[in-house]
Structure 1
Amino acid sequence: MRDKVPYRFRWRGTLYNIIRIIDYWRDVSEWWRGEPELWFWRVLTHTQGVYELVCDPQSNQWWIYHVYD
């Protein structure tokens, strides 16, 4: 999954360029119930915003998990 490092994303019609990966980790939650492995990325954008992005590698879907003020 590390080969799928995000470098930009679009949110609410605006394109955000990622200038730094602050942290990343994976979460398997309740694997015994078949929940998917998710990868989390905390990133800094060119607007100085900090966001947590999540990727489900099975479906290759991304979404915003958290926006920091």
Structure 2
Amino acid sequence: MSRRVDAPVRVFFPARAKETPGPGCSRITAIGWRGRTLAVRECLDEWRETGRWWAGEGEKHFVRVVTDLGIYELGYEFATGEWRVYRIFD
């Protein structure tokens, strides 16, 4: 079961890595969500979507990660440079 969310999230990388998405979402070490820092234990999947170009949406990079509190689906919006939580799985 999952619930849809669309909210900003902070994504942490190793100190030497850039905070940009790309192949190898296993570089993500933690996410900051609702006042907590959740360690990322595993990267399950990652993909890119072009978005609804006819509605002005740009390309997004998605990752699905396992944390201490569940599975989170995150998306990086290239147009804004922002990470967002899109779905949380129980």
Q: TM-score, normalised by structure 1?
A: 0.81
CA distance 1:57–1:29, shift in 2 (3 Å): closer
Note the alpha carbon deviations across 1:27-56, whole angstroms, 9 max, x for none: 1023355421001100001x1510001101
- In 1, Cα distance between equivalents of 2:38 and 2:49: 25
Where does residue 31 of structure 1 map in the other structure? 53
- Taking CA–CA contacts closer than 8 Å with sequence separation of 6 or more, which of the two structures ends up with the larger relative contact order? 2
**RMSD across aligned positions (CA):** 2.0
Any unmatched runs of 5+ in structure 1?
none
CA distance 1:63–1:4, shift in 2 (3 Å): farther
Any conservation in 1 of the 2:63–2:73 contact (CA below 8 Å)? yes
Any conservation in 1 of the 2:49–2:61 contact (CA below 8 Å)? yes
* 1:13 paired residue among 35, 41, 66: 35
Q: Percentage identity across aligned positions?
A: 32
Where does residue 2 of structure 1 map in the other structure? 22
Any unmatched runs of 5+ in structure 2?
1-20
Aligned length: 68
Q: TM-score, normalised by structure 2?
A: 0.64
